[in-house]
Amino acid sequence: MTTDQNLHYWQSFAETVSIEGRAFIDGRYQDAESGEVFDCISPIDGRVLCQVASSGESEANRAVAAARASYVSGVWADKSPAERKEILFRFADLIEANQEELALLETLDMGKPISDSLGVDVNGTLRALRWTAEAIDKVYDELATTSHDQLGMVTRNPVGVVAAIVPWNFPMLMAMWKLAPALAMGNSVVLKPSEKSPLTAIKLARLAQQAGIPDGVLNILPGFGHSVGAALAKHDDVNTLVFTGSTGVAKRLMIMAGETNMKRVWAEAGGKSANIVFADAPDLDEAVEAAASAICFNQGEVCTAGSRLLVQDNIADEFIEKLQTAFQAWKPGNPLNPATTIGAMVDDIQMKQVLGYVEKGSAEGATLRCGGEQLDIEPNGYYVQPAIFENVTNDMAIAREEIFGPVLSVIRFKDEEEALAIANDSIYGLAAGLWTSDLSRAHRVARKLEAGSVWVNQYDGGDMTAPFGGFKQSGNGRDKSLHALDKYTELKATWMKI
């Protein structure tokens, strides 16, 4: 099919797709008790996709009660790991069978290109679920070394009820990074998607039920504002709270949890990642393309976005010239067109925030090399041309604060010591990249970078086998890999006298 035919296909699909907007509690969709709803607005063109139930404290209480009852009953927790694995694989198969509908909902709801929704979000969701499901009957408990008349066992118990609050930028994928390990280890879950992009989470609830996940084990609570998240953070029957989002919200959730039942709080929070290009980078053209992708992909709405580009002085002029050319391939367009590389910002609030930082960068003395303007792609849509700032210093707001949009700050450095000082001079420590042909430098710099993920001669590497999370105010705990399972289990030591 041609691009135009593909665009027509997705536009036609968008006109006919059935969209569910109600909460899912104890195995059924239901309205908020208050009857309150909010409009789910597509950033593509500003049209109202549906009305979504605005869950509140009442819904949080009912969802937690359903999760607690299902956990205590053992209907899910007492299944063998092999049984849970089989059901989770059926869940993955249903996601795959409905992948086009899920991808469309993601694009309509959040504004990302349909090609990314299919190729990145759906595929990543499937990989996270299948990888975790495959792992659960291969995680063994332990026997301690004891004297002849003692038996020491170290076992993992499910934590119980998990509340998960996930962001709007990768709604389905971030949800699955929490759901897969939480469910795999036998917990019951209450998931709160962002009000900016709740649709795929609501759809996943029905698919999970069809796969055989018992009622009450997975509950979905869309809600407007912070009332649902606060209710879950304060709830005494929630044992663990997992969160991905801003550092400011993470801190508030930790305070709420500490003031109530001291539930475990695991947070993947903000980032302001440094991408360091040394003069001896093995392939400057490849580094240029990666630097462009690192800030433009997903409209820059990525926690690990390479928003600080550190370039060594003696190659900086050449690199910036090449970078400006590379940015020409990242032009916002209709997200339903598979040829589009950048879609719409998630809403007008986010668009205005990005445009505000563009103004702030110029006011602080940085030089706007290209981009930074609002574009009229579709009527009432939210589109911003990716921007490059040069002559940036690390004390400027555009270099220190998380913009969450396609705004790149280029900072020059003289040597390795200065590059490390600039990169680590941040409250965040989520990710970093470095480009060099010097093997010793690669090891040396990677070791000294204060970041949870470091990518060498690439940006955004890794897969489900690698843990993901941050240092400093980028959070605690890890998603992905076997390390993620630690967040959803309690270790128990049992000693028997023989």
Asked if 50 is an active-site residue, the reply is no
Block residue for tokens 């994928």: 173
**3-class DSSP assignment, residue 74:** coil
Listing from the earlier edge strand, what are the strands of the sheet with 407-413?
367-370, 387-390, 407-413, 308-312, 274-277, 431-435, 453-456
Per the CB < 8 A criterion, the answer to whether 241 and 264 are in contact is yes
Whole-number percent of the chain with pLDDT over 90: 98
Q: Which of 192, 98, 173 is nearest to 129 (CA)?
A: 173
Count, residues in the chain: 498
The active-site residue out of 195, 268, 301, 390 is 268
What residue type is assigned to position 217 of the chain? V
Asked if 303 is an active-site residue, the reply is yes
- Report the distance separating Cα 382 and Cα 47, nearest Å: 12
- Report the distance separating Cα 309 and Cα 312, nearest Å: 10
Q: Which residues of 83-92 are buried (b: 16+ CB within 10 A; e: fewer)?
A: ebbbbbebbb
- Report the distance separating Cα 192 and Cα 60, nearest Å: 9
- Report the distance separating Cα 48 and Cα 55, nearest Å: 19
**3-class DSSP assignment, residue 258:** helix
pLDDT of residue 54: 97
The active-site residue out of 296, 303, 390, 450 is 303
Domains, the chain, ranges and CATH? 19-138+157-269 (3.40.605.10), 274-465 (3.40.309.10)
Q: Which residues contact 428 (CB under 8 A, 6 or more apart)?
A: 247, 269, 270, 271, 272, 273, 402, 470, 472, 473, 474
Distance of CA 16 to the CA centre of its chain: 29
Half-sphere exposure of residue 81: CA atoms within 13 angstroms, side-chain side = 15
Q: Which of 178, 164, 185 is nearest to 77 (CA)?
A: 185
Per the CB < 8 A criterion, the answer to whether 43 and 346 are in contact is yes
Q: DSSP letter for 342, please.
A: B
Per the CB < 8 A criterion, the answer to whether 157 and 185 are in contact is no
Tokens linked to 347: 């809403």
pLDDT of residue 5: 59
pLDDT of residue 226: 83
DSSP structure string for 214-235: PTTTEEE---STTHHHHHHHH-
- Report the distance separating Cα 340 and Cα 335, nearest Å: 6
pLDDT of residue 225: 80
Strands 48-53 and 37-41: antiparallel
Residues (pLDDT < 70) of the chain are 1-5
- Ordered alpha helix ranges (H), 335-425: 348-363, 397-400, 416-424
What residue type is assigned to position 24 of the chain? F
